[in-house]
Amino acid sequence: MIFILYDEIQALIEKKFSPRIYGLNSDFYGLYYGQVNNKKHLKKIMFTVDLNLESIHFAVKNKINLIISLNSLTRGPISNFNQALINKLTLLSKYPILVFVLNSSFIAAEGGISDTLMESLHLKLERPLNVKNNKNEKVPIGRICVPNSYGQSEKPLTMSNLLKRIKMSLNTDNVVFVGDSNSIVNRICVVGKETIDLNYLRKALKFGCDCFISGDIDRNKASFSKDTGLTLIGMSLYNCNTIALKKLHNLLSLEFPHDDFYFFEAQNPVQVFV
């Protein structure tokens, strides 16, 4: 039986499912840990949102050859070694595991996190929200959408009903917003990113959006929202990230039916006190 080659899965990810050109600025993308001959055969591939101790334990125990993770061990370069990082690297060294990190490229990708957020909330795509990276390339980081219409009798979507839809569709209680819960939502910008720039909000307003959904609300953005009338919704994106990665897991398992694909599903580490 012939198993997948590393260069095959790398090419498929980089060109189709999470294109390298969609990376933003300092985000790491690609082979993050391990050394590989591109002709190396892989039998066991695992997907995970985070490289936490649990996920690495699971990979070592199951003799995983390749971990595909949304997030890296650290946000930036490793400049110092704390005990948690040392523990993770020690575990990784116990078995020849490769780690491939997607980061923001998978937010912008077709079928990625922004698309998954849009689809989970039953919204209809109008156009992408493009931003430029440090190479001056356009990255479709978000989606500008309208509520799906199911007939002339369909009632307008209110902010209150949109908030309820978010909680139900994404199974999350951690939803905050700035605006009027009774207002009507006509055009929505969704960005499946934990932290966003004020320029994203300005672009959304330029395209006529009256609502912006992401994982991030801080004081500056809340103040901007109050001044401009753009309603903001912020939430934990952990469940959305999980849904998007599971879709990628399923697509790659169909592409390579002779390999074993695993998905490590952990609970959202951020808990909400109700």
**Pair 17, 131 in one domain:** no
Same domain, 100 and 191: no
Q: For position 152, what pLDDT does the model report?
A: 47
First to last CA, the chain: 52
The verdict on 96 and 209 lying in the same domain is no
For 16-61, the pLDDT digits (tens) are: 999 999 988 778 899 988 887 767 788 999 999 999 999 999 999 9
Is residue 131 located within the same domain as residue 203?
Answer: yes
Asked if residue 199 has pLDDT above 50, the reply is yes
User: Does residue 149 register a pLDDT over 80?
Assistant: no
Asked if residue 83 and residue 161 are part of one domain, the reply reads no
pTM for this entry: 0.91
Query: Which range marks the domain in which residue 202 is found?
Result: 110-236
Question: What is the pLDDT at residue 163?
Answer: 96
Tell me how far apart the alpha carbons of residues 187 and 162 are, in angstroms, rounded to a whole number.
12
pLDDT tens per residue across span 159-178: 999 999 999 999 988 899 99
The residue-averaged pLDDT of 195-214 equals 96
The pLDDT assigned to 63 comes to: 93
Distance CA 185, CA 104 (A): 27
Backbone angles phi, psi at 172, to 5 degrees: -135, 145
Q: Is residue 43 part of a domain?
A: yes
Asked if the model's pLDDT at residue 101 lies above 80, the reply is yes
Local confidence band at 88 (pLDDT 50, 70, 90 cut-offs)? confident
> Which of these, 52, 53, 107, 103, lies nearest to 75 by C-alpha position?
103
**Count of domains observed in the chain:** 2
Q: What is the pLDDT of residue 38?
A: 64
Residues 122 and 222 reside in one and the same domain: yes
Give the model's pLDDT for residue 144: 98
Q: Specify the CATH number for the domain of residue 150.
A: 3.40.1390.30
Rounded CA separation 119/75 (Å): 28
State the residue for tokens 């307008």: 156
Q: Is the pLDDT of residue 79 over 60?
A: no
Q: What is the pLDDT of residue 83?
A: 78
Tell me: pLDDT of 69 over 80: yes
| Span 221-270, pLDDT tens digits | 999 999 999 999 999 999 999 999 999 999 999 999 989 999 998 877 77
Same domain, 137 and 84: no
